[in-house]
Structure 1
Amino acid sequence: DLLTKKGKFSEASRPNQKFYDMIQMFRETMEITPVTTTDLIEPQKICVCVRKRPLNKQEVTKKEIDVVSVPGKGTLLVHEPKHKVDLTKYLENQAFHFDFSFDESATNELVYKFTAQPLVRSIFEGGMATCFAYGQTGSGKTHTMGGDFTGKQQNSAKGIYALAARDIFTYLNHRTYANLNLSVYVSFFEIYNGKVYDLLNKKTKLRVLEDDRQQVQVVGLEEVLVSSAEDVIKIIKIGSACRTSGQTSANANSSRSHAILQIILRYNDRATTLHGKFSLVDLAGNERGTDVSSNDRSIMVETAEINRSLLALKECIRSLGRNSDHIPFRMSTLTKVLRDSFIGEKSKTCMIAMVSPGMASCEYTMNTLRYADRVKELNGNSKATKPSKGKEELSSSSEDENVDLSVYDAISRVTELEEKVYADLKRANMLVQEMDNISYNIEEGLPCLMAYSQELMDNILMLQSAVDQERQATQTH
């Protein structure tokens, strides 16, 4: 298999040939134990998995090098190409560990078995479940959630949306749950530029309301009563066709909104009473403003809003991970509508981090994997947020209300400084490697070491100050 791969990429462009050879040599030393259908699945509140897609046609044409390896069931390696100070090429092989990792040969069925499928039972037991796909534009999120593509045609029966619907109806007819007298409803909406649009009702713009107990409602959202998995597949096709898309440097038809399919269980005799809910989320791609193919202001605002909501999601997860009494759900519409999915004893969440294998996407792949690491920090002992005091009534979260800029700015500053400290530490690590070299001259290297150390200390102090400001901003929000 390795020889086959070696032949496939033997014509890699000359500047990267050395990196390719180094990666192939490393892979030849690896013991490969991929995920199989017979592997055990342990029940847990938070499951974080990663999926690597194959090199696409565009990457193969450009002779991109595959820098991602999946040697084990829960391990993923990134062979990050680096240059030393003297321009010598080397690899920084970074390992990440998650609950499960899937290589490019994994099917949607296999990924579903270890991610969303274990959550289906929980909604029949009165719980809230969430499965979301996160990653760079073009990393395969919509393929995983919505179904296989043949050209631009999508087979909606082969995605996690449809596979979950199939199993929900299997459970519904099982004798264990048949006496609960439940009906299945489906809603499908998108969040675009911080606003909610109903994908099953001509993209009608909807308001998000929150009561004093922090219960969130999307007012006027259409819920369709369904009687089979086939009904759900039809709804997926209708909604997916309406979803907002645009062009980025990574994808000519990129999804520019967060799409949320909710499969809801309600009692037949009490149609308004919720028994359980499964939210399946295909997040918009996480790219920088410089990655969009237009300088149009609306496109730049769109990209900024996507990144803002993904940042808000990350901050909520971080707050939950450290058992914070204050969780900033109001920072974005995305985190508002997903609020009930992250708290409560019966809530379960699964994240599928999607990564692109090409060398040109290495930075984005690393960012996605770090984000997934943050999610994994969320444990099962998170505290629910405390309801605020006051009149118990629905109040508009305001369709025109923007996220508190002081909160957003504070969090953005923390994120920026985190990256600076991380970069400083990597440079310091390079210096350590240089000092191991027998020809290293301590007298010549000392000034550089002192400069790096001072810059690192300055950035750490600024990061501490930014974290304090963030805490104050979120507490007063």
Structure 2
Amino acid sequence: MVAQNGTNIPTTSKLARYSTKASIQAFTNNKGSFKGTKPVSRQTNHYSPAVNGTGEVLSTTVPCTPLNPPTQYQQIPVLKPADPPPQTQQLTHLYSNNTAGAIRGSNSTTVAAAAAAAAAAAAKDRRSNVVKEVAKLKKNREERRQRQAELKEEKEALMNMDPGNPNWEFLAMIRDYQSNLDFKPLRDSEVVEDHQITVCVRKRPLNKKELNRKEVDVVAIPSKNQVIVHEPKNKVDLTKYLENQHFRFDYAFDETCTNEMVYKYSARPLVKTVFDGGMATCFAYGQTGSGKTHTMGGDFHGKTQDCKKGIYAMAAKDVFRFLNSPSYSPLNLVVTASFFEIYSGKVFDLLGDKAKLRVLEDGMQKVQVVGLTEKVVTTVDEVLKIINDGNSARTSGQTSANSNSSRSHAVFQIVLRIPGLNQIHGKFSLIDLAGNERGADTSSANRQTRMEGAEINKSLLALKECIRALGKKGSHLPFRASKLTQVLKDSFVGENTKTCMIAMISPGLSSCEHSLNTLRYADRVKELDASDPAAGEVNTPMYSPPPSRSPNMSRNLQDVSMVDDDLAALRSLNEGELSADLYNFHEAVSQLQEQEDEMLDKHKSLLESGQKWLQKDKQLLAMTKNVDYDQDAYSLQLLNLLQTKLATTQDLVETVLAFRKQLTTEEQFSQNIIRGGHR
């Protein structure tokens, strides 16, 4: 609407007005009853453009003329569109001639925009809840689709980084986690620390077979003493996630470290201990195929091993270097070397046609490996030849991890002896342990495999507790629990003893469980540190030492009662690892091995006696050639000979029957293990 002076008057402004509803005037005919109604319209307020002398538009209202003018005029509230439910406002009087709120021409555009916004807000608020909910769902759907599209693009990008890898999700999570790590691996310039017990961890690189399978590397070594295992996990809804497990040891070697570097921080400090009159041991421990034989024996080129690059050879070089040094050359020590293996609880000489050896303890409680071949060596080349000969004779078998796996503990010993006295000055034992996985990991599950696996696991448990005893003065040493710890007894007793364990781990995802078991084993060993204030608080069962014996008395180490005591000690110290069924099985296997040795000894004795009996038979028959031979003497001697034969044979028969009964017992306990799921 345009005023007389040309000023625009907003048509959207709403002024107070009367209702446009028609009023009803009733009229009655005959006794007040309704005869009809007559609608009468009322006028509404409207703009009447009028301009005063100032140029302002005056708001003039034309009042309605009702049929019956009211005596009092009412004020009608106006609702603002954007306001909440009604709150009354005072308006100008309906019949006021001059109404307040004049509008200036210069502000008309702003007022119009504000009015339009208010109208839009009012229209929006007037929407129903259903319309609002639909709009909200639409917005959420669009946002969800956008997120899904972004995730799809990210997934495709990650898959393109590792095309064809079924574990690309875990690989992406590992990369993301490692991107926040500050890698500072062990350097050759680091100082070598001196420990009575040193525990190291070495990670090997992925081999060709694992690379072809697109294995994921789940092991990280961010610092010189820290190891992280990214263990893949799946939630109930199959969502993948990582459980990052941290371990800390004395040294951690990543896949770039060489054998020389491993030797420098692990076995090399032990050489001086040997020349100072001590006993030192170095173990390589881990899963089959984790690199134990590579570390101890040297690099492999196909099936050929280069012994010059192994810890055996490097230790021999340092031994001769110390031997010729000014500090130790006046001692004129003699160096000897021996190499034997422990397989299924039996000791075999690798330098003597794999002859079976006896392990005995003399009256001074010193363990002796009877019949072990010791060769005097004067050069490193002679030592390398012994290592080559021993490795070629070592027992091996096929497992799921390695087609040519060493299934025995190989013990290479360098002994320093004082000339003339045949007295040991120092001993360095380097042990390549059998794989720490259970016997069920082999292709077959016959009795020999079960006994082999049982002996390996039992010896590893006993070894762990013997090493732990080094840091606990007065603790019982359960060395009789296995043949391995029996032959290494002198390395665990005495003041000047040091031990180093190199735990070998495989980096592949498929070996994650075995690698974690290896790290937990090594971590448990390191808990024994003598400086640990809690070391003396561990509830370690104490046992009395064996009774004293006369100096000329010797006994076989595998005395049943003593072995049982040490097995019980192992069980009490390793309740989580040695269940009741496994304990019974180990006990049955130990008794079976003893009865086997007894049976073989009696059989050999029978054969040796048979040669004597044959000579005696010939002598008796020679007596009968005389015409007047003494029949009484002949018959008496023959009777005595036959009774001796019968007694010896009957004793062997009873031993064989007892052995076969023990075979049945072992079979029953093994079935209990299978049913209990302990294998």
Normalised to the residue count of structure 1, the TM-score between the two structures is 0.81
Structure 2 gap segments, 5+ residues each? 1-157, 537-541, 580-679
Which of 381, 387, 391 is 1:236 aligned to?
A: 387
Bigger mean CA deviation after superposition, 109-118 or 52-61? 52-61
Q: Secondary structure at the match of 1:131?
A: strand
- Secondary structure of the structure 1 residue equivalent to 2:353: coil
Aligned to 1:54: 205
Q: Which residue of 2 aligns with 1:303?
A: 453
Aligned counterpart for 1:165 among listed residues 316, 322, 336: 316
Residues of 2 paired with 1:183 and 1:308: CA distance? 35
Aligned counterparts of 1:239 and 1:333: Cα–Cα separation in 2: 19
Q: Which residue of 2 aligns with 1:154?
A: 305
The 5 Å alignment of 1:323-334 reads: 323-334=473-484
- Aligned partner letter, 2:424: L
Residue 338 in 1 paired to residue 488 in 2? yes
Aligned-residue sequence identity (percent) comes to 57
Contact residue 68 and residue 357 of structure 1 kept, 8 A: yes
**Residue identity in the other structure for 1:85:** V
Structure whose alpha-carbon radius of gyration is higher: 2
Find the counterpart in structure 1 of residue 254 from structure 2.
103
- Segment of structure 1 superposing worse, 126-135 or 210-219: 210-219
CA 1:96/1:229 → structure 2, altered by over 3 Å: closer, same or farther?
same
Aligned counterpart in structure 2 of residue 10 of structure 1, from 162, 165, 168: 162
Residues 350-392 of structure 1, C-alpha deviations (whole Å, 9 max, x = no match): 0000001111111111110111012212335899995743323
What is the rounded CA distance, in whole Å, between the counterparts of 2:169 and 2:568 in structure 1? 42
Structure 2 CA distance for aligned equivalents of residues 220 and 211 of structure 1: 14
8 Å Cα contact 1:76/1:101 also seen in 2: yes
**Contact 2:478-2:570 at 8 Å conserved across structures:** no
1:314 aligns with 2:464: yes
Query: How do residues 44-123 of structure 1 correspond to structure 2 at under 5 angstroms?
Result: 44-123=195-274
Q: 1:380 to 1:186 in 2, by over 3 A?
A: farther
Paired residue type of 1:296:
N
Q: Which has the higher contact order (CA 8 A, sep 6+)?
A: 1
What residue identity is the alignment partner of 2:162?
Answer: S
Residue in 2 that maps onto 1:269: 420
Deviations 1:86-115 (A, max 9, x none): 332111111111111001111101100000
Partner of 1:208: 359
Normalized per residue, which structure has more strand? 1
Equivalent in 501, 507, 510 of residue 357 of structure 1: 507
Say whether 1:379 aligns with 2:529: yes
TM-score by length of 2: 0.58
The answer as to 2:290 corresponding to 1:131 is no
Alignment check: 8 A CA contact 1:210 1:394 kept:
no
For 2:463 and 2:193, the matched residues in 1 are separated by 25
Shift, 1:11, TM fit: 3.7
> How far apart are the structure 2 equivalents of 1:193 and 1:366?
25
Contact 2:181-2:222 at 8 Å conserved across structures = yes
1:328 & 1:8 partners in 2: Cα distance? 55
Q: Is the contact made by 2:480 and 2:566 (CA closer than 8 Å) also made in structure 1?
A: no
> How far 1:269 sits from its partner (Å)?
3.1
Match of 1:455 in 2: none
Instruction: Map Cα deviations across residues 225-266 of structure 1 (whole Å, 9 max, x no partner).
Output: 000111100100001100000000000000011000000111
Are 1:174 and 2:325 an aligned pair?
Answer: yes
Displacement of 1:410 in angstroms is 7.2
1:417 positional shift? 3.1
CA distance in 1, matches of 2:333, 2:469: 35
2:411 to 250, 260, 283: 260
| Worse-superposed segment, 48-57 or 319-328 | 319-328
Secondary structure in 1 aligned to 2:576?
A: helix
- The answer to whether the 8 Å contact 2:480/2:558 transfers is no
Deviates more, 1:319-328 or 1:153-162: 319-328
On the 8 A contact 1:207/1:399 being kept in 2, the answer is no
Q: Which residue of 2 aligns with 1:21?
A: 172
Q: C-alpha distance in 1, partners of 2:469/2:423?
A: 30
CA distances 1:384-428 after superposition (whole Å, capped 9, x unpaired): 9957433234523257969845754774586463699xxxxxxxx
Contact 1:148–1:156 (8 Å) recurs in 2:
yes
How many residue pairs align between the two structures?
413
Show CA shifts across 1:268-287 (max 9, x none).
Answer: 232x1111110000000011
CA–CA separation in structure 2 for the residues paired with 1:409 and 1:343: 21
Please tell me whether residue 286 in structure 1 is matched to residue 436 in structure 2: yes
Residues 180-199 of structure 1: pairs in structure 2 closer than 5 A: 180-199=331-350
For 1:117 and 1:40, the matched residues in 2 are separated by: 13
Query: What is the CA–CA distance in structure 1 between the aligned matches of 2:431 and 2:223, rounded to whole Å?
Result: 27
SS in structure 1 of the partner of residue 327 of structure 2: helix
Shift of 1:84: 2.6
1:233–1:317 CA distance, 2 compared to 1 (3 A): same
**Which runs of 5 or more structure 1 residues have no equivalent in the other structure?**
1-5, 421-477
CA displacement at 1:58 relative to structure 2: 1.6
